[in-house]
A and B are shown apart, each in its own frame.
Chain A
């Protein structure tokens, strides 16, 4: 039976070329966008370079405080984590293998008469345990050096080439940052463009600079990354972090405190930057699924309209099939099968187009994932990306084919068997 349907599909596709082109065009464009987006997100979340162990890391990035009635001042404050919250509380969590606190900022300067914009990252010593940077020279700063506020720096290869040209060994040389001279203790490979967390050109101990939020216990400019032995520890670490914050909250009668997460990379991307009190992974997933559904729905409706128009062309064939014993359910199945074949064909074209687009325009268009990160469109292929494309094709085929199939299966055969009407 499927062979019969397949033959009909091929014949009709080649007979109605305009319709076939319009159908394939809509489907392939949709799949192309789905693929490009999926590949880039897959690349971001799979971890490369220093983020190779990203599937074992969870993050707390936002804290919210609300003043209680007993407070004489204050209000609502939402920011990154405060230094004291990180140093005295979050970094003391027991169930993580390593915990790092770090903050990022833009570094703008003039070098050799040219304006430069780089990223500086202030870190603790544990940063180099949490992330797997590849040191091509030297070493990271140690815990003692951080405590002692040593003026040390780790720079990337590209910053080394900018500041020191072709000089091979620049360990011990200095980098001028504002009014400070930082001694280079190590040089690392540049993190990939797809990095979302291990980002920076210049790294130095966070203790060197007294930040303006230092007196504030809860909010400041830091992100905390918890590295676990495995993802199975995530629940325990989350519980411990939330319990710790709950104790702080209970002890402080002037404020109510909310901590985000800790979340995995994917969860973090879903909840975005907002109000930690209102974060909900479930609602985020639902919202993104809704957006994805709406994105597929519009071209599916277009294809549905084309399919409705086609029904008239197929009316004689359907009447003949009904006359010889095809039930409505069987006819619906045939039409859906043909439609899904069409969407799979469009999907295959879309996949090829997505690779061509990424190859040609990967750096012209970028995906804005976080405020510091415009990720170039990225080529990657894994089972999840393939499944995303396949599921999109199937959903597309069902959405655009079901109602026309129902209409078609309900046709009265006698009306369409002309020229000797039965």
Chain B
């Protein structure tokens, strides 16, 4: 599903060059639930940026769902992100001015999809995360756990093959965090490939595989 070959990324400023990723090679099989762990600043975020086509590597190749990424042209990467990838963030990042329905609908409005079909998909997504009764609530009217569930619903609304989750339980208490992990495991059981960045060893051990980064390199 995901293949990284000799991926390197350097961040340059006027004063200093920072090697964020150094010759990363690995594969993620379809349906795998992978955890990425490492200390702060080791390159986890950069790795997810590159897999999610939000950033371009300085060297190396990426393949997503069998498609080698030949160009990082904005329109093409946006389309691939929309169709292949769903993101879940630690701080949820719901659009505050939109209600839950409109937030979950977001990936679908960038596809050429009939409104009735969009409504069907949004409803299915909200049912999966148990938020049907909050459909027209705004993020400010919901708890952290509900917000994260709405964010998960948004991430899966377009049936992406890959979910990229950055510390999805980082801002939640343990009970709610486990609820969120249950949702992710259910998605994974249904075939979705998930890559999760986490600092929690217990959560990481519940996944299929753990990948560790240190100073931009894979270790262990």
Interface residue ranges, A against B (CB under 8 Å): 1, 4, 7-8, 11-12, 15, 316-317, 319-330, 412-414, 417-422
B23-31, B46-54, B60-68 - interface stretch: B46-54
Q: Say which residue of A7, A317, A330, A420 sits within 8 Å of B90 (CB atoms).
A: A420
Q: Say which residue of A1, A316, A330 sits within 8 Å of B93 (CB atoms).
A: A316
Q: Say which residue of A7, A324, A329 sits within 8 Å of B87 (CB atoms).
A: A324
Q: Kindly list the 8 A-B residue pairs having the minimum CB-CB distance in the complex, ordered from nearest.
A: A420-B90, A325-B82, A419-B91, A11-B97, A327-B78, A325-B110, A324-B107, A420-B167
Inter-subunit contact A325/B78 (CB<8 Å): yes
Flag whether B95 is at the interface (Cβ < 8 A). Answer: yes
Extra contacts, 12 of them, besides A4-B106, A324-B154, A421-B166 (Cβ < 8 A), are: A7-B98, A8-B98, A317-B95, A323-B81, A324-B81, A325-B81, A327-B110, A414-B49, A417-B89, A417-B91, A418-B91, A419-B171
Flag whether B5 is at the interface (Cβ < 8 A). Answer: no
Indicate with 1 or 0, residue by residue over B102-127, a CB within 8 angstroms of chain A CB atoms: 10011101110000000000000000
Q: Say which residue of A317, A322, A419 sits within 8 Å of B89 (CB atoms).
A: A419
The interface residues of chain B lying within 8 Å CB-to-CB of A322 are 54, 78, 81
The interface residues of chain A lying within 8 Å CB-to-CB of B49 are 414, 422
A326 to B108, CA, bound (A): 10
The interface residues of chain A lying within 8 Å CB-to-CB of B111 are 325
The interface residues of chain A lying within 8 Å CB-to-CB of B75 are 327-329
A26 to B187, CA, bound (A): 51
Which residue of chain A has its CB nearest to the CB of B154? A324
Flag whether B144 is at the interface (Cβ < 8 A). Answer: no
A328 to B166, CA, bound (A): 24
Which residue of chain A has its CB nearest to the CB of B49? A414
23 interchain pairs, CB-CB under 8 A: A1-B109, A15-B97, A320-B93, A324-B86, A324-B87, A325-B81, A325-B82, A325-B110, A326-B78, A327-B75, A327-B78, A329-B75, A330-B78, A414-B49, A414-B55, A417-B89, A419-B89, A419-B91, A420-B166, A420-B170, A422-B52, A422-B87, A422-B164
CB of B147 to closest CB in A, whole Å? 12
A322 to B110, CA, bound (A): 10
CB of A168 to closest CB in B, whole Å? 72
Flag whether B59 is at the interface (Cβ < 8 A). Answer: no
Q: Which of A7, A320, A322 has the most CB of B within 10 A?
A: A320
Q: Say which residue of A15, A320, A328 sits within 8 Å of B95 (CB atoms).
A: A320
The interface residues of chain A lying within 8 Å CB-to-CB of B45 are 414, 421-422
Which residue of chain B has its CB nearest to the CB of A416? B93
Inter-subunit contact B83/A325 (CB<8 Å): yes
Q: Which of B78, B91, B171 has the most CB of A within 10 A?
A: B78
Flag whether B74 is at the interface (Cβ < 8 A). Answer: yes
A345 to B74, CA, bound (A): 32
Flag whether B79 is at the interface (Cβ < 8 A). Answer: yes
Binding site secondary structure of chain B: mixed
The interface residues of chain B lying within 8 Å CB-to-CB of A329 are 74-75
A413 to B86, CA, bound (A): 14
Q: Say which residue of B54, B93, B105, B154 sits within 8 Å of A4 (CB atoms).
A: B105
The interface residues of chain A lying within 8 Å CB-to-CB of B91 are 417-420
A327 to B82, CA, bound (A): 10
The interface residues of chain A lying within 8 Å CB-to-CB of B94 are 320
The interface residues of chain B lying within 8 Å CB-to-CB of A421 are 45, 166
Inter-subunit contact A422/B74 (CB<8 Å): no
The interface residues of chain A lying within 8 Å CB-to-CB of B154 are 324
The interface residues of chain A lying within 8 Å CB-to-CB of B89 are 417, 419-420, 422
Inter-subunit contact B171/A413 (CB<8 Å): no
CB of B96 to closest CB in A, whole Å? 8
Which residue of chain A has its CB nearest to the CB of B105? A4
Inter-subunit contact A327/B98 (CB<8 Å): no
Inter-subunit contact B74/A325 (CB<8 Å): no
The interface residues of chain B lying within 8 Å CB-to-CB of A11 are 97-98
Inter-subunit contact A327/B74 (CB<8 Å): yes
CB of A44 to closest CB in B, whole Å? 47
Which residue of chain B has its CB nearest to the CB of A413? B54
A327 to B53, CA, bound (A): 12
The interface residues of chain A lying within 8 Å CB-to-CB of B102 are 4, 7
A319 to B81, CA, bound (A): 13
Which residue of chain A has its CB nearest to the CB of B110? A325
A196 to B109, CA, bound (A): 56
A326 to B74, CA, bound (A): 9
Given contacts A417-B89, A422-B49, A422-B89, are A325 and B107 in contact (CB under 8 A)?
yes
The interface residues of chain A lying within 8 Å CB-to-CB of B107 are 324-325
Q: Say which residue of B74, B109, B170 sits within 8 Å of A328 (CB atoms).
A: B74
A267 to B158, CA, bound (A): 60
